[in-house]
Every structure is written in C-alpha cells, then in structure tokens.
C-alpha cells in the first residue's frame, strides 16, 4: 500500500484503527507487523506478499500466524519453502477451526497494539507446535526473535492474559493441545478489547487482492520461451498447464512460472515428445504419483547434473527431482517410458519412509509408557487397542501412535491397568465407538480447563471427543459409568400432563416440594407405591435438604414423566428417594452422578426407584450445583435402560 493511501486510511480511522474497508489481507498484516517492527524497517512487503500466497489455501487463517510470515519475509524464499510444507503438515481441520476463531477475533479488535500482541502469542504457539526436525524451524524462530527485539517480555507484562498459554508451556506443544491454547488467546483478546471498548460489532472485511505476478518473473518467462526456438504449445495452453501444476503442488503461480522458466533456460522444453520435455508430461507424472502414493507430491526440483534416471522421488520431502541431462537431455518420451519403473521405486521409497517413521513412533510410544511408571495394560494388548483406534478414527498407524503418545504426556491424564486409578486405550476406544454411533469422530483431545461433572464431551461440528482432565479422577470406571447411563445424543423431554398441574400449589417455584399436599398430589398423579412413597420422600429431603428447597414440583414432574416414557411399557417409577452408591466395580464413592434408577425387591413385587445422589458434588467444588436446569439436562441424556440393585 502506498504512503498516500495509508495516510488516507489513518486520516479516516485514526492511527490505530483496525476497521478499514480499503485493506487487503497482505496490507492488514503489514500494518499489524509495523506495530511490532517499529514502523516496518526490517519487513519486506513483497516477500511478505509472496509468503501469504504460499499459504493461500489458508485464507484469513494466516492472520494469527502473522509474526511467522513477517519473520520468513526477512529470509529468502528458498530458505523457507520446506518450512512451510512442514507448517501445513500440522494444520488439520481442528487447528483450521481454531485459527479461524482467532482470526475473526483479531479482525474484531479495533486496536493495533492488541492485534499485535494476539498475533505474537498465536504465532509462537504455532511455531512451538512444529516437531523437531522441521526444516528451518530454528532459523525462522531466530527471525521472529529478531523482529521482536525486547518487546516480548514487555508485551507479556502488559497483556498477561493473552500470553498466559505460553507461560504454561515448557517445550513443544502437542497438536492436540494447540486448538485449546488458541481458544484461550481468542477469549483473552475479546475480554481486553471489550474492557477497552475497542471490540467491533462485526469483523473487519478485508478486500480481495488479486494475486499479482511480479512483472519481471513473467517477463523472464516469456523471454526464455521465445528465445528457446522450440516447438511450443500456445501461451494460454501452457499457462493453463502451469496453473494445474500449481494446484496439484499447492504452489503459487509465481512458483510455477519460476519452475517453467528454469526448464526453458535449461534448453529442454519442446512439445515434440522425442525432442524435449513438455509441461503436460510433468503433469502426468505428478498426477499418477498422487494417485498411487499415500501422500501427495509437494514439490518438483531440477538437477542440472547428469543423473542415472529420468527422475527420482524423495519420499521424505515428497519431492520429484528431474534430471535434466539424463541421456543428454530429458524428454517427454523418456519420462513416459521410464515412469512405471520410477513409480515402483517411489512406492518402495515411501514404504521405507513410513516404516522408519512408524518405528520411531513405536519407540517414542515405548518411552512414553516407561515414563508413566504406573501399572499399565500389557503393551501387546494396548498396541492391539491402538490399531483398533486407528480404524475407528480413520488415522494412519503413525498418527494413531502419535495420538496415544500425546495422551500419555497430557496434563492431568494418567494411564493405568486398574480402571479405578486411570484410563486405558481400550476405554478410549469404547468411548470413540459409542460417540461414532452419533456423529463421525476424527480425533481425541484433552481439555484441562473445562469444568464439568462429566468426564468427556463430543464436539460434533469438530468431530472431536474431548477428555476432561480436570474431572476429578478421570478413569476407565468413570467413563464407562457415564457411557452406560448417559446417551451421547440428547433423548428429549416428555412434558407432564398440563391439566394435572392445577392440582399443585406454586409448582414452578422453589419450596413447592416442602408442601405435604403437593407430595400427595404427586403420589396420586404418578401412581407411586403409596405404602413407601411418603417415607421415601422423607429420606430424600432429610439427607438432601437442598433438593427440597431448590427443585420445583414441575421439574420433578417432568423427570418422572420422561423416565416413565422411556421405561414403558414394561415398568414405571414407583418411588422417588435419595441414596448413595459406589462407582460400579470399584470401592470408590460416586460423587459425580446426579441420579440413577434402582430396583428393590419387596416380597413378590419389584419397585423401580428414581434415586437422587446424596453425595453429588461432595469434595468437587467445580461441579455445577444442584439446580432445576442441571436435573433437566441430566434427564435429557439419561438412557433409563440400566437399573441397578439397591446397595
């Protein structure tokens, strides 16, 4: 953006304004980065534009990674192309969704200083998610630190909530944890912006900017093409082929032009198949490799030296290397003739790479088990469960091991062979299988901050099961109990008969259950066991007085109406009472369940009791308090197909 146009923007909106309809994505990021780089003295706007195009498939999701883009813009493109391939490798749909969230929040904050702090914090989170061995990771990190200078600590002091996730992280971040940390940054940005009254009603809408091909690149390409003297396709046809190649490789158009220019400058391009190389022959190789390999081709390079083959395939970097001087000069005919042999070699190379990566993953998995230092499920049994988990989630074997490694290292998660002391991969598999019956599950993540009386939740939109590691004693026993009694999907509510409501006094107000005439009307309406019903209510209210004083008659009517519908036609609730129990198959008291159904044999009859938990929330301050809303939510999910015996 020219100085004049920038002056117009600041004149209209102020020097720190975030809302400008005249800014494109590259211009917006440049303005944010200028706040970090004290005016943009180190930034290279043209290189920044190129690196944004390098990530064009991410759209506005690059905004939270703005500092990374600013850092790579100070380096040469050749230094960071492999880095960006590694960066894309960690961005799965869950991370894309989190980047979307932070991006939208940044675009709603009308304050450049806050935008800069949010961008810095998010960029460092993403940078620290890149695994060891990512090409140029340390080089890019140094460029980020050079841009920041002494700002990092100063901003952390001014905006501690924005940088809070980074304070808690020691080394590399798990891919599974990144969405949660990005969500924390988004929440902190919104809170601070609202306090400062700089949070917009709608996000800034960035204008589209057509991808500008540097004139010199296109001019060099056209000149090399004319000077080749070769038999060529039309310029429009060849540009269409280059565009297709860019789509396959996720390249920018400039990268495609530069690649084609190299081939012309090497003097090997010609549409006559036995004389030279044509772009459509290169396309055919890429398309066939993509069709036959598990991982797509990411790049093509050229080798100006003599090679022993028409091309080679580096399965580590997923890169084709064309040997331009093979048999004097590489031609389309030679490539097509030798392609089948090259394809088989590429398959073998990929197998070797995958095998090595799998061996490394298994090794790290073994190390994670050793570090756990607990009584664990036998390794052979657990590895069988990992393979089943792979199938259930649609992962590769390597991804499945990496997932379990991440869970072993997650905060507040313990693995154990004892279902009362920790979780197991087998239980996680059962959880995924149960949730998959409701909605496809693609991943498992750990949420250490979510406060709940439930050990897990399913995010259908993201396709992720979240384990609540802050849940007191997250174990197989607690997960299995929840799965046995609680539906993953809500089952609905059955409203009680409206006409009968008139028989009750203050049915919608707290305290209605303390009225004896209301209890009599309740016993009559639902046909409770008359000889036991009154005493059962007394037991409930004596040991659980907050239930009597908080829950309304209408809520209790709704619960019994709904559960009777689920029990029909074979049974119905005969008694409403309160009691306590242990978690099944353990000696540990159940302080998490809200209520359950219990059967009691009395001579020749069998009574079904709706039993509320005397000890719900005991020693668990994070559990939501007993309330009408809590009971109705519990009722929506309670399956009513598991009826225990009175302890």
pLDDT of residue 135: 75
* CA atoms of 465 and 446, how far apart (whole Å): 8
pLDDT tens, residue by residue, 545-596? 999 999 999 999 999 999 999 998 888 999 999 998 888 777 788 888 999 9
* CA atoms of 514 and 547, how far apart (whole Å): 10
Partnered with residue 311 across adjacent β-strands are: 322
Alpha carbon 523 to its chain centroid, in Å, reads: 49
Residue-wise DSSP of 387-425: HHHHHHHT--HHHHHHHHHHHHTSTT--B-SSTTT-B-H
Tokens (6 digits) for 638: 């309670």
* Residue predicted with more confidence, 179 or 215: 179
Residue at token pair 């097509």: 336
pLDDT of residue 85: 76
Partnered with residue 638 across adjacent β-strands are: 486
pLDDT tens, residue by residue, 424-469? 999 999 999 999 999 999 999 988 877 888 999 999 888 999 999 8
pLDDT above 90 as % of the chain = 50
Average pLDDT score over residue span 171-187? 85
pLDDT of residue 171: 64
pLDDT of residue 461: 85
Q: What are the start-end ranges of the H helices in 276-328?
A: 279-292
pLDDT of residue 170: 62
| pLDDT confidence bin for 88, thresholds 50/70/90 | confident
pLDDT tens, residue by residue, 387-416? 999 999 999 999 999 999 999 988 788 999
pLDDT of residue 7: 30
**pLDDT of 5 higher than 60:** no
Average pLDDT score over residue span 56-79? 83
* CA atoms of 371 and 413, how far apart (whole Å): 13
Element at 445 (helix H, strand E): strand 443-447
pLDDT of residue 646: 52
* CA atoms of 211 and 505, how far apart (whole Å): 71
| pLDDT confidence bin for 138, thresholds 50/70/90 | confident
pLDDT of residue 6: 27
Q: Which of 288, 283, 284, 291 is nearest to 241 (CA)?
A: 283
Phi, psi of 23 (to 5 degrees): -100, 135
Residue-wise DSSP of 593-632: --EEEEEEEETTEEEEEEEEETTTTTT-TTSPPP-HHHHH
**pLDDT of 137 higher than 90:** no
How far is CA 1 from each of CA 9, 21, 31, 33, rounded to the nearest angstrom?
Answer: 10, 13, 10, 14
Strands lying side by side in the sheet with 595-602: 575-579, 605-613, 595-602, 643-645
pTM over 0.85: no
Structure letter (DSSP) for residue 489: S
Contact 64, 102 (CB under 8 A): yes
**pLDDT of 21 higher than 50:** no
Average pLDDT score over residue span 341-346? 94
pLDDT of residue 220: 87
Tokens (6 digits) for 484: 């046995």
Sign of CA dihedral 68, 74, 80, 85: positive
**pLDDT of 373 higher than 80:** no
Q: What are the start-end ranges of the H helices in 110-265?
A: 112-129, 137-148, 151-158, 164-167, 178-195, 215-227, 235-249, 253-265
* CA atoms of 424 and 78, how far apart (whole Å): 45
Average pLDDT score over residue span 200-229? 76
| pLDDT confidence bin for 644, thresholds 50/70/90 | low
pLDDT tens, residue by residue, 249-294? 988 888 899 999 999 999 999 999 999 999 999 999 999 999 999 8
pLDDT of residue 470: 81
pLDDT of residue 627: 93
The size of the chain, in residues, is 647
Contact 615, 591 (CB under 8 A): yes
Number of H-type helices and E-type strands within the chain: 25, 10
* CA atoms of 415 and 407, how far apart (whole Å): 9
Strands lying side by side in the sheet with 299-303: 299-303, 319-323, 311-314
Sign of CA dihedral 515, 521, 525, 531: positive
**Three-state DSSP state, 262:** helix
Partnered with residue 598 across adjacent β-strands are: 609, 644
Question: Burial code of 80-113, b = ≥16 C-beta within 10 A, e = fewer?
Answer: bbbbbbbbeeebeebbebbbbbbbbbbbbbbbbb
The residues near 61 (Cβ < 8 Å, ≥ 6 apart) are: 91, 96, 99, 100, 103
Tokens (6 digits) for 389: 């988990």
* CA atoms of 537 and 103, how far apart (whole Å): 54
Q: What are the start-end ranges of the H helices in 467-552?
A: 476-485, 516-526, 530-543, 545-550
Partnered with residue 322 across adjacent β-strands are: 302, 311
| pLDDT confidence bin for 214, thresholds 50/70/90 | low
Residue at token pair 């979510």: 450
| pLDDT confidence bin for 604, thresholds 50/70/90 | confident
């Amino acid at each position: 953006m020219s100085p004049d146009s920038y002056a117009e923007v600041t004149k209209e909106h102020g020097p720190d304004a975030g809302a400008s309809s005249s800014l494109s994505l590259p211009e917006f990021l440049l303005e944010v980065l200028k706040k970090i780089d004290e005016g943009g003295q180190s930034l290279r706007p043209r290189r920044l534009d190129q690196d944004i195009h390098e990530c064009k498939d991410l759209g506005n999701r690059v905004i939270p990674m703005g500092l990374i883009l600013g850092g790579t813009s100070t380096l040469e493109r050749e230094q960071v192309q492999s880095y960006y391939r590694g960066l894309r490798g960690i961005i799965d749909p869950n991370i894309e969704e989190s980047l979307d969230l932070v991006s939208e929040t940044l675009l709603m904050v009308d304050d450049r200083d806050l935008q800069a702090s949010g961008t810095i914090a998010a960029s460092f989170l993403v940078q620290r998610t890149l695994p060891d061995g990512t090409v140029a990771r340390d080089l890019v990190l140094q460029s980020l630190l050079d841009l920041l200078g002494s700002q990092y600590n100063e901003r952390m002091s001014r905006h501690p909530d924005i940088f809070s996730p980074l304070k808690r992280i020691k080394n590399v971040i798990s891919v599974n944890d990144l969405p949660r940390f990005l969500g924390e940054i988004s929440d902190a940005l919104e809170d601070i912006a609202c306090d400062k009254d700089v949070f917009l009603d709608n996000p800034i809408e960035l204008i589209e900017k057509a991808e500008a091909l540097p004139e010199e690149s296109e001019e060099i390409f056209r000149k090399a093409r004319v000077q080749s003297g070769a038999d060529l396709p039309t310029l429009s046809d060849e540009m269409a082929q280059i565009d297709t190649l860019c789509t396959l490789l996720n390249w920018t158009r400039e990268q495609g032009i530069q690649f084609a220019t190299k081939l012309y400058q090497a003097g090997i391009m010609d549409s006559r198949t036995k004389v030279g190389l044509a772009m459509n022959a290169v396309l055919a190789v890429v398309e066939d490799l993509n069709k036959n390999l598990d991982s797509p081709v990411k790049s093509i390079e050229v080798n100006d030296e003599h090679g022993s083959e028409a091309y080679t395939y580096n399965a580590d970097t997923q890169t084709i290397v064309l040997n331009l001087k093979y048999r004097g000069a590489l031609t389309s005919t030679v490539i097509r003739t030798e392609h089948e042999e090259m394809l088989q070699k590429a398959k073998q190379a990929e197998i070797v790479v995958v095998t090595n990566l799998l061996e490394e993953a298994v090794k790290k998995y073994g190390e994670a088990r050793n570090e756990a230092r607990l009584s664990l499920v036998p390794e052979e049994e657990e590895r069988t469960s990992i393979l089943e988990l792979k199938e259930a989630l649609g992962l590769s074997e390597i991804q499945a091991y990496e997932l379990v490694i991440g869970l072993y290292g997650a905060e507040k998660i313990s693995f154990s062979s004892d279902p009362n002391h920790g979780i197991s991969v087998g239980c996680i598999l059962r959880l995924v299988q149960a949730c998959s019956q409701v909605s496809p599950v693609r991943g498992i993540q750990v949420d250490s901050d979510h406060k709940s009386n439930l050990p897990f939740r399913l995010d259908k939109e993201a396709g992720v099961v979240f384990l609540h590691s802050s849940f007191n004693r997250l174990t197989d026993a607690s997960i299995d109990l929840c799965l046995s009694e609680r539906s993953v999907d809500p089952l609905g509510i059955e409203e009680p008969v409206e006409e009968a409501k008139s028989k009750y006094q203050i049915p919608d107000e707290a305290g209605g259950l303390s009225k004896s005439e209301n209890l009599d009307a309740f016993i009559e309406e639902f046909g409770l066991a008359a000889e036991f019903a009154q005493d059962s209510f007394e037991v409930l209210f004596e040991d659980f007085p907050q239930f009597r004083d908080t829950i309304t008659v209408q809520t209790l009517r709704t619960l019994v109406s709904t559960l009777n519908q689920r029990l029909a036609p074979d049974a119905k609730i005969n008694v409403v009472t309160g009691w306590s129990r242990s978690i099944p198959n353990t000696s540990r008291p159940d302080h998490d369940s809200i209520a359950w159904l219990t059967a009691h044999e009395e001579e020749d009859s069998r009574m079904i009791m709706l039993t509320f938990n005397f000890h719900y929330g005991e020693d668990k301050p994070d559990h939501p308090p007993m309330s009408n809303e809590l009971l109705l939510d519990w009722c929506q999910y309670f399956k009513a197909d598991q009826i225990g015996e009175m302890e």
